[in-house]
Structure 1
Amino acid sequence: MAGGTAKVGSSTVDGKDAPAKKSARDRIFETACELFYARGIRAVGVETIASEAGATKMTLYRNFPSKDELVAECLRDQARQAWSWWDEVVGAHAGDPRRQLEALFEAFGQKTCGDTRGCALSNAAIELHEPDHVARAVAVEHKAETRRRLGALCKAAGARDEALADALFLMLEGAYVARVTLGESGPVRSLSAGARALMDCMLA
């Protein structure tokens, strides 16, 4: 057929496949994640999410049983992205835990986050203070896993106890806030050097 081969379920423009239209669920999910991060979880209602996603409240609730579950799913996605980044960074230095730790802090310090509002998971843990909130549980689990992973790397690098892992965890969390308040030219620029100095001291 002239102009390219047609595909079932797709349209063509000048012989090229046009991108598939996003489903209502995907539009709602992406809109919700953006709004929760930009405006805060409590400040964004389902009416706003549905409207900005070009959907209805009924469609939203057909795909997500509640706003809380939608928040939790957004945070799960944030966690998945974070672990993908983490695994890529440490994977480049397999078998060398000290170098893996250094690489994590180097990579974090080199991130250019633009209009950042800090860590979405930390923000959620602060905003959703109810201990049994389903979305808060996602945030707490992620932070606990971060600490566990740091602990495993520190132990493999020769740390005698959990003190180094805890200190590095606090440095990471503090870096999120420092980036929000003082930007890329603030203390976050010294994150990597500070982490190395700490490891030099506590792994000696």
Structure 2
Amino acid sequence: MSSSKPASSKRELLLNTALDLFYREGYHATGIDRILAESGVAKMTLYKHFKSKDELIMAALEERHARMRERVREGMPAEPRAAILAMFDGLHAFLQQQDFCGCAFIHAAAEFHDRSHPIHRLAAEHKQFIETFFRTQLERLGAEQPAKLARQLQYLAEGVLVMAHMHGPADQALEARDAADSLLRGAGL
């Protein structure tokens, strides 16, 4: 019974180490040996939990997505307009983290550019989650073109991530929040 807990914690240690290294240094640039060295986990243990590096990357991205999905579901205001604008507040907080290195999903899609690759598809699913969040809130508000407006809001959010990565984090998310507020007012919401 006690052996299942250490295995779980070793898996979590591998996953957290991989999450950090992939995010900071890239998916292709980070080798398995580096993950093993930084986590202190044996290679046999790694392959007990993950059959390949791609499987580890998928698990890391799934974990990052799950954490973000949880923050969105738990931390958003109930009122739809406020929830939309709160997404930009959350982005601002994300940019202010000391280890901000851009968007792990944008990086994954860029490194695994073949749209049929499972890692690229997983990154696209994450972005679809964001669009769906916006569309759901807009539908709750009674927007006339919720899908189109959701995409426009997402373009703002994605632009924040890219520009903060390119130029360094500043007030990109707050400025995008103002633009989102203008879009909503322009749509009568």
**TM-score, normalisation: structure 2:** 0.87
**Could you tell me how far apart the structure 1 residues matched to 2:83 and 2:169 are?**
23
For residue 65 of structure 1, the aligned residue among 31, 34, 51 is: 51
Q: Please tell me whether Structure 1 or Structure 2 has the larger radius of gyration of its CA atoms.
A: 1
* More contact order relative to length (CA 8 Å, sep ≥ 6): 2
**In structure 2, C-alpha distance between the alignment counterparts of 1:191 and 1:109, rounded to whole Å:** 10
Q: Percent identity?
A: 30
Equivalent residue for 1:105, pick from 57, 76, 88: 88
- Equivalent pair of 1:78/1:121 in contact (CA under 8 Å): no
Q: For 1:16-165, what aligned pairs fall within 5 Å after superposition? A: 23-90=9-76, 93-94=77-78, 96-111=79-94, 112-161=96-145, 162-165=147-150
Aligned to 2:168: 183
RMSD: 2.2
Q: Which has the higher helix share?
A: 2
Decide whether the 8 Å contact of 2:105 with 2:123 is kept in 1: yes
Determine which of 179, 182, 193 is the counterpart of 2:178.
193
Whole-angstrom CA distance in 1 between matches of 2:73 and 2:12: 26
Match in the other structure for 1:5: none
Aligned residues of 1:106 and 1:191 also touching (Cα < 8 A): no
Supply the distance in 2 between the matched residues of 1:31 and 1:62 (Cα, whole angstroms): 16
The aligned residue for residue 170 of structure 1 is 155
Distance change >3 Å, CA 31–CA 97, structure 1 → 2: same
1:133 is displaced (CA, Å) by 2.4
Moved over 6 A (4+): none
Code of the aligned partner of 2:182: A
Q: CA deviation at 1:186?
A: 4.5
Partner of 1:42, secondary structure, is coil
Aligned length: 184
Could you tell me whether the CA contact under 8 Å between 2:92 and 2:171 is conserved in 1? no
What does the per-residue CA deviation read over 1:32-81, in whole Å, with 9 as the maximum and x for residues that have no partner? 11111111000111122112211232221111111101000000011011
Q: Measure the CA separation in 2 of the matches of 1:107 and 1:27.
A: 26
Aligned residue for 1:23, secondary structure, equals helix
Q: Give the Cα separation in 2 of the matches to 1:124 and 1:66.
A: 16
Residues 117-148 of structure 1 deviation map (CA, whole Å, 9 limit, x = unaligned): 11111211111112332222221111112111
How far apart in 1 are the matches of 2:52 and 2:138? 40
